[in-house]
Amino acid sequence: MISAGEFRNGVTMEYEGDVYQVLEFQHVKPGKGAAFVRTKLRNVITGAVVEKTFRPSEKMPTAFIERANMQYLYKDGDMYNFMNTETFDQVAINEELVGDTMKFVKENEEVKTLAYKGKIFGIEPPLFVELEITETEPGFAGNTAQGATKPAVVETGAQIQVPLFINQGEMVKIDTRTGEYLGRVQK
């Protein structure tokens, strides 16, 4: 059990039959009246973000999220297939559950599956990936002082914005959380 007074960013708990993760919290002590904890919570299953207020003494059961290292094998229709790197068990996960998290992940790359009480509810891709640009307009030297960008398609099929000097066939580093171009990768 965890009390609202012990909340920290990243803590997961059961509340009203769902599992929530604390995104933000603020202990408030008004001049008049009792103290309270104002929070911003994310439902780890649906991704919905809600704001709730708790008394510091309110207690909730702690939810333990299980993370397992998995290797992404292949996509078959609307199912993504993974293999546990420790037990070699294979798991197929529906495309609806995965959402956009796999758009920067190539086959044979490592990801983490997120499960609660044995039920997988999400995928955590690596924070940064290196992918090849498969499609973009030809690069040209010009006024890049303003940070001008152009659209490009990477080998997984995802579209990102890259600087004007990036050409087709180059390897780039991408932040999977934001889809942001981080730089070139030397071969």
Same domain, 106 and 155: no
What pLDDT sits at residue 172?
92
Q: What is the CATH number of the domain that holds 117?
A: 2.40.50.140
Q: What is the 3-state secondary structure (H, E, C) of the chain?
A: CEEHHHCCCCCEEEECCEEEEEEEEEEECCCCCCCEEEEEEEECCCCCEEEEEECCCCEECECCCEEEEEEEEEEECCEEEEEECCCCCEEEEEHHHHHHHHCCCCCCCEEEEEEECCEEEEEECCCEEEEEEEEECCCCCCCCCCCCEEEEEECCCCEEEEECCCCCCCEEEEECCCCEEEEECCC
Same domain, 54 and 81: no
**For the chain, what is the domain count?**
3
What pLDDT sits at residue 141?
59
Domain boundaries, position 109 = 66-124
What pLDDT sits at residue 11?
84
What pLDDT sits at residue 110?
92
Same domain, 83 and 96: yes
Of 124, 142, 173, the domain-final residue: 124
Residues of the chain below pLDDT 50: none
- Indicate yes or no: pTM above 0.85: no
Same domain, 52 and 72: no
What pLDDT sits at residue 164?
84
Same domain, 39 and 17: yes
Tens of pLDDT, residues 121-171 = 788 888 899 999 899 888 665 555 567 888 899 998 889 988 888 888 889
